Amino acid sequence: MKLLEKTSRIYLIVSLITYLAAGFAFYWLIKYMIYDEVESRLMVEKRDFETYVRSHDTWSNNSYFVENKIEVVPVYGTYSKQVTFTDTLIYDRYQEDMDPFRQLTFNTIIGGAPFKVEIRKSMIETYKLIEAISAVMVTFLALLMIIMFFFQRSLSGKLWRPFYDALSRIKDFDWTKDKKLELAPSEITEFNELRDVMVKMAFKMQHDYKSLREFTENASHEIQTPLALINARVEQFIQAKNLDQEHTYWIEEIYHAARRMSRLHQGLLLLAKIENQQFTAQEELNLSELARSKAGDFEDILSHKQIRVEFRHKGDFLKTMSPALADILLTNLISNAIRHNRPEGRIEITADAESLQISNTGAPLKVDPERLFERFKKDSAVAESLGLGLAIVKQICDNYGLQIRYENAGSLHSIHITLRGS
């Protein structure tokens, strides 16, 4: 969810709750004020009634008290002097419905006898007034909320525009190129501070990337040259005829160690280049067909070890990535399946639109499956393995949003590569 949508939703919810609370409070306040006014008038009429009774010591329906709203009935036994206000309904014979009234009830002495007096005042006009005020208030608050919502949304969009512009430029920024990150200045101090920080970070990233790239290139050249020289001299010693068996053994050990060091050096440099995204050329590739083609490159080794390859094509697994890294990915997976296979075993390559699976028969895994894709984690039974092949595969998958996992079913070991989230 975008920031503007999130803030708009929060504002809408808070405004709605606030306006509803304010509406209820306003309604009850108006009702309280009107009721207070009605009760005040009833108390005035109570005083008028008592004044009339004191003057005449009797009561009769008098024109002074209009609307026939006073009812006097005798009280038998004890009575209370408490004054109470209540709501009541009285049948209107003209309208043939029940009308609301506010009623004042009290006891008094008339002609030496106790009577209960009920003074009523119609609330019809009062309720109509409350309904009218409430309708106007609800309409006003609804219009105010709608206007403020769109005003807040428009204002937020304008205020956050420099942020979204900067975010868009940062997304398109490529630190592997020499072009500097350029962000437009803003009238808002915080956005200008963020701009300065991002420009400095981008410059530092470009500088670090360039330094690391130069280091890997120099290291590749400077280390590979003496290793190649060592291998060449050792090969000359091996071919010499005047060496005894012991010297030949030690020279062969040096030769194998130098070759292993050369392969290790190349693997680590490759990992560094992948991590720093130095493979920038990309195109959409069909990994299903590439896997079939790559398996054909190992035909001699497969024939020598009598390993059978079964290819199951259920769809094209398409992915935009570097062709060089795709070749390294499939080469490492297939060579790993061959290296850890058994004589007269098999390799299964299964591909569909969302996954690629390479399985091979082999001995039980001696490494913790959870740590299989870490560097230098390898099966001790395979001496020539460096423990970098699957680490390189994992790094390539991470760079291109692919998910990789290992599964085992009996003697069949499988590496699954799927689109992340599939």
Domain assignment of residue 391, yes or no: yes
- Beta strand 355-361 with 412-419: parallel, antiparallel or unpaired? antiparallel
Q: Which of 118-132, 253-267, 274-288, 400-414 has the lowest mean pLDDT?
A: 253-267
- Of the two residues 232 and 353, the one the predictor is more confident about is 353
At residue 342, what are phi and psi to the nearest 5 degrees?
Answer: -110, 160
Q: With 70 as the cut, is the pLDDT of residue 63 above it?
A: no
Q: Where a domain ends, among 130, 156, 182?
A: 156
Element (H, E) at 249: helix 245-275
Bridge partners (DSSP) listed for residue 114: 109
Q: What is the model's pLDDT at position 61?
A: 61
Q: How far apart (Å, rounded) are the C-alpha atoms in residues 70 and 419?
A: 85
The average confidence (pLDDT) of the chain is 79
Element (H, E) at 312: strand 308-313
SS3 311: strand
Longest Cα–Cα distance in the chain: 154
Asked if residue 393 and residue 301 are part of one domain, the reply reads yes
Asked if residue 143 and residue 31 are part of one domain, the reply reads yes
Asked if residue 131 and residue 16 are part of one domain, the reply reads yes
Which residue pairs from 234-239 have beta carbons closer than 8 angstroms and sit at least 24 positions apart in sequence?
A: 234/258
Q: Residue 275 has what DSSP assignment?
A: H
Domain assignment of residue 162, yes or no: no
Q: Residue 241 has what DSSP assignment?
A: S
Q: With 50 as the cut, is the pLDDT of residue 66 above it?
A: no
Q: With 60 as the cut, is the pLDDT of residue 156 above it?
A: yes
SS3 378: coil
pLDDT in tens, 318-329: 888 888 888 888
How many helices and strands in the chain, by DSSP H and E?
Answer: 9, 11
Q: Number of structural domains, the chain?
A: 3
pLDDT in tens, 85-112: 988 887 777 667 787 888 888 888 887 7
Token digits of residue 381: 């039974």
Q: Where a domain ends, among 278, 301, 316?
A: 278
Sheet bearing 308-313, strands edge to edge: 308-313, 346-351, 355-361, 412-419, 402-409
Give 304's Cβ-side CA count (13 Å radius): 6
Q: With 80 as the cut, is the pLDDT of residue 220 above it?
A: no
Q: What share of the chain is helix, strand, coil (3-state, %, to 5)?
A: 55, 20, 25
Domain assignment of residue 50, yes or no: yes
CB 408 within 8 A of CB 392: no
Q: 1 falls in which pLDDT band (50, 70, 90)? A: low
Q: Distance between the two ends of the chain, CA-based, in angstroms?
A: 22
Asked if residue 288 and residue 391 are part of one domain, the reply reads yes
Q: What is the model's pLDDT at position 360?
A: 92
Q: 114 falls in which pLDDT band (50, 70, 90)? A: confident
Asked if residue 288 and residue 236 are part of one domain, the reply reads no
Token digits of residue 229: 């020289």
**Domain containing residue 99:** 3-156
Asked if residue 393 and residue 296 are part of one domain, the reply reads yes
Q: Residue 421 has what DSSP assignment?
A: T
Asked if residue 269 and residue 193 are part of one domain, the reply reads yes
Q: What does 63-113 look like in DSSP terms, one character per residue?
A: TTS-TT-EEEEE--S------EEEEEEEEETTTTEEEEEEEEEEEEEETTE
Residue 165 burial (CB count, 10 A): 14
Asked if residue 409 and residue 299 are part of one domain, the reply reads yes
Asked if residue 226 and residue 340 are part of one domain, the reply reads no
| CATH of residue 113 | 3.30.450
Q: What does 114-182 look like in DSSP terms, one character per residue?
A: EEEEEEEEE-HHHHHHHHHHHHHHHHHHHHHHHHHHHHHHHHHHHHTHHHHHHHHHHHH--TTSSPPP-
Q: What is the model's pLDDT at position 359?
A: 92
Q: With 80 as the cut, is the pLDDT of residue 33 above it?
A: yes
pLDDT in tens, 299-339: 888 888 888 889 988 888 888 888 888 888 888 888 888 88
Asked if residue 18 and residue 144 are part of one domain, the reply reads yes
Q: Where a domain ends, among 278, 311, 333?
A: 278
